[in-house]
Structure 1
Amino acid sequence: MAVYVSGYKKLAISLLGACVLLPIAGCAQREGTIVNEKVELASYIGAYQSTGDDAYNFFVVERDNKLYIQNTWGLTEINIQADHSFEIEKWGLKGKIHDFDNGKFQGYTGTVDGVDYDYKRIDVDINDIGFLYQKEGYASNFSQPLGTCDSDSYKLSNLADNSHKPEKIEALIAQIQSKKYAWAEQDSLLIYQDGKLLVEEYFNGYRRQDPHQIQSVSKSLTSLLVGSLVTQGKITDVNTPIVKFLPEYKHWLQDQKATITLANFLDMAAGIEWDEWTLRYTDPNNIRGKEMESDDAVAFTLGLPMNNKPGEVFAYSGGYVSVVGTVISNLSKQETAADYAKHGPLKTLCFNNAYWYKQKDGKTNTAGGGMMRPIDMLKIGQLMLDGGEWQDKQLIDKQWIEDSLDRTVNPFNSLYGYFWWHSDVFVLQSGKTYHYVHASGWGGQEIVIVKELGLVVVTTASNFESSGKVGEMLSQFIIPALIE
């Protein structure tokens, strides 16, 4: 799945003081002087702001007697050496905490590629997630204002009373918590069936209120925004040539490109030359990175040559999703797609602590820039499972939801359509194969809908060096626990 790589180095820098701090008791050093004050866990906790322009804000938080850095990419458990230095090899970061005063450290200095970056403690509530995203121009907030709706309506039901073999799911949770298995980097697991939330577990310091990167799950959220436009009558036929919705780009949509439909883009079959899977996303030559860093992502994408007939060949493309994002902003008359998520029909879902990164051109990174709480991802899954209904109201056009869940909607690829994946899983216990539809993002971000079982599963994770494992979870643990 696509990874959000724009500003990759800057996001790495945001982890400078973030990666290896643990509380110690003893002396602290400040500007070459030994300070005889006790360093406690609380000495590190607080909000830190970059003194320059090249890094993001972060919190140091305590969860279960451990310290974590919380920044725009999530949470990272931290440790500290005796000399107050810290290092994280995978990010190429070295740093040192300093300025111990009145029982608290006042600053961090981190080094990346030989360049120092400084942070200072500031007086901000560490529960104010918006502080992490306040760097102007980087992200849009598509949360609903607190108090305007109920963002936390889910109540946990008893797993043992609502499953046939609860020990299966309990074993999965125990394996995740032990960190001895392949899914040690799992950050959340939510299981919802037949109108009940059966499991809501968080790992590695995460809690319900913490947003998590959702990566390419953003694509499926974008699909729901298109469905919102259909619901409002602003799109009547997805088989309409996309040039109708993008008149400002008609120069790029000539000849064969003039026949490319909105549906072709939604099915990743526009026929425009694209390959973002051969090279790693961190490779500067990856086309997805080039598109994100371009001055106009839509012009960049539409300006590429055709190499297939529209509608016939699948090519996974973040650029295609950027094009659809501009259709959304045009038809909704909102500045960005994220603004439509905030003010359009999906506002009824009452997302909280929800942010969406922008690309260089200021457009929403609809292909991979979303940050959401897993409990809000569950709302998306429930909306899909219930045919677009939410709290007894038809929020999204029912036919749109049915088409999104239908693996035949894309006649040339039964595995993908309308920015949703289609997969199957065999369960030995029943000797049966179950079809599931899922929004899937790099690192283990998933919203899974198993319509036959009335089931939604949400996972977030940080497994960025391996493939997703939701299929194994479904086949070995979750579905066997829920069927007779």
Structure 2
Amino acid sequence: MLYNRLFVFGPMLMLAVFIGGCASTASLPEPIAQDDPMPTGTLAEVDLLPDYLQQLDADLAGIDDHQLDSILVARHGRLVYERYFNGYAADTPHDLRSATKSITSLLVGMAIDDGAILNVDQPMMSHLRDAYPEVDDKGDIQLRHLLTMASGLDCSDRDPDSRGQEDRMYRQRDWVGYFLSLETVAPPGLQPDYCTGGVVALGRVISEATGQQVDAYAQQKLFAPLGIRNLRWARFDDDSQIDTGGHLLLTPRALVKIGQLVLQQGQWQGESLLSPAWINEATTPQVTLDNTPYGYLWWLHEVDYGVQPVRIIAARGNGGQTLFIAPQFDLVAVTTASYYNDPQAAVVDRIFFNAILPSVPELQAAAQRTAPTGIE
């Protein structure tokens, strides 16, 4: 089938890329509460072709030891494909890792909409000065620099020798204070470098600006309107602060809702939760990070299937936690997986770009002719 020949590894793709043991069901998070359901439907009702997804089902059914935990697809606001593996179920929250960062971007936009934050050009320290009066010489770092990973501080999660590398930060009590203590190595905005510490600092900015803990603000402004209650934030600083850089527990269905909110330009069931202006700005390329266009904590891709360029907005977390949004086709897909620190996590991209997206009829003819370009 066409699905097979689109993959680099050929018809035996799944056997080539899926190795390793299953996740232990004993370690899975227990459901915390019950989320509101979202509309469901069939592939035919939303005009998605079944061939690729049926082949994906067949391939996965023959493998006992892959580390995919869920695959979900929604189109036109309806959930039409939903699979769980390795003991996970619809109500099992999953650690989103750094996909949490994209949710933090939405919260910054909401705080701007509320007037608690003026704009992204505000200096970071204008909100953090009272909490950290001892910090010097950081006044030129703006909120936009934190949103684009371009603070200029010695903070690179990709470099184990960087003082701000996330594992070093996690060993501290107050991660925000530790981030603010880092030395400046480049002018802000000049040199983007993947840095979780800056996104954690954004969480403290939201808290100081709104006068609420981030979890309470997020529940009020984002999660409650979406009917999301089955969640848990990670904490640090003796549980007094919220980790907005990663480790939010959320169900894959809830992450589909987040994608749908972005797709709908901040609208949900007739209510405006977030301004379209913020959605557009946050999902417009601002910098290049890891050789990929990057907005305000959102990854941005463009792939060419031979018919038209397809724009993709993505939230990504270590291990295969991914939210894909294809605005042109009114489509959202979510994967969760346990390929932590494993290059095999890239299989979620192949599943999306070579199985889910070509299920859109507009791309079927092009998929028969050639594999898409622009995918690494």
Q: Decide: shared fold, TM above 0.5.
A: yes
The answer to whether 1:423 aligns with 2:325 is: no
Find out whether 1:441 has 2:317 as its counterpart. yes
Q: Within the alignment, does 1:265 sit opposite 2:149 as a pair?
A: no
Q: In the alignment, which of 108, 115, 121 is matched to residue 233 of structure 1?
A: 115
Q: 1:169 deviation in Å? A: 1.3
Query: In structure 2, how many angstroms separate the alpha carbons of the residues matched to 1:286 and 1:203?
Result: 35
1:211 aligns with 2:113: no
Aligned residues: 338
Contact 2:321–2:335 (8 Å) recurs in 1: yes
1:199 to 81, 92, 97: 81
Provide TM-score, normalisation by structure 1: 0.65
How far apart, CA to CA, are the structure 1 residues paired with 2:107 and 2:262? 13
Secondary structure at the aligned position of 2:157 is classed as coil
Give, as a single letter, the amino acid of the residue that structure 2 aligns with 1:205. G
The residue aligned with 1:455 is 331
Q: Which residue is 1:351 aligned to?
A: 228
Secondary structure in structure 2 of the residue aligned to 1:190: strand
- The residue correspondences of 1:57-76 to structure 2 (distance < 5 A) are 69-71=25-27, 73-74=28-29
2:44 alignment partner in structure 1? 160
| Distance in 2 between residues matched to 1:306 and 1:240, nearest whole Å | 19
Q: CA deviation at 1:333?
A: 1.3
SS in 1 for 2:346: coil
Q: Which residue number in structure 1 is paired with residue 54 of structure 2?
A: 170
Contact kept, 8 Å, 2:36 with 2:228, in 1: the verdict is: no
Instruction: Provide, for residues 397-433 of structure 1, a one-character-per-residue CA deviation record: whole Å limited to 9, x for no partner.
Output: 22111111212x3488862121111123343xx4443
Report deviation, 1:224.
1.2
SS of 1:415's equivalent? strand
The aligned counterpart of 1:113 is: none
Instruction: Say which of 258, 264, 289 aligns to 2:167.
Output: 289
Q: Distance in 1 between matches of 2:48 and 2:106?
A: 33
Question: SS of the residue aligned with 1:463?
Answer: coil
Structure 2 Cα separation of the partners of residues 371 and 164 of structure 1: 30
Q: Percent identity?
A: 30
- Distance in 1 of aligned mates of 2:39 and 2:359: 20
Give 1:437 deviation, angstroms.
0.9
Write the mapping of 1:371-410 to structure 2, written as runs, cut at 5 A. Answer: 371-407=249-285, 409-410=286-287
1:190 shift after superposition: 1.0
Residue 172 (structure 1) shift: 1.5
The offset of 1:352, in angstroms, is 2.7
Kindly indicate whether the alpha-carbon contact (under 8 Å) linking 2:148 and 2:295 is maintained by their aligned counterparts in 1: yes
Letter in 2 for 1:202: Y
The alignment's TM-score, normalised by the length of structure 2, stands at: 0.82
Q: Is the 8 A contact 1:293 1:359 kept in 2?
A: no
Q: Hey, what does 2:31 align to over in structure 1?
A: 129
For 1:381 and 1:326, the matched residues in 2 are separated by 24
Counterpart Cα distance in 1 of 2:23 and 2:53: 28
How far did 1:214 drift?
A: 0.6
Match of 1:299 in 2: 177
Structure 2: 5+ residue runs without aligned partners? 1-20, 363-376
Q: Could you say which structure has the greater relative contact order, defined with CA pairs below 8 angstroms and 6 or more residues apart?
A: 2
Match for 2:203 among 312, 316, 325? 325
Instruction: Give the root-mean-square deviation of aligned CA atoms.
Output: 2.7
Taking the aligned partners of 1:383 and 1:457, their CA distance within structure 2 comes to: 13
Look up the equivalent residue of 1:69 and give its one-letter code: T
Is 1:274 paired with 2:133? no
Task: Please give the per-residue CA displacement for 1:414-466, whole angstroms capped at 9, x wherever unaligned.
Answer: 62121111123343xx4443221111001110111111111111111112222
Q: Is 1:242 paired with 2:198?
A: no
Query: Structure 1: where are the runs of 5+ without partners?
Result: 1-19, 21-65, 75-127, 131-142
- Alpha-carbon shift at residue 278 of structure 1 (Å): 2.9
C-alpha displacement of 1:174: 2.4
For residue 442 of structure 1, what is the amino acid of its counterpart? N
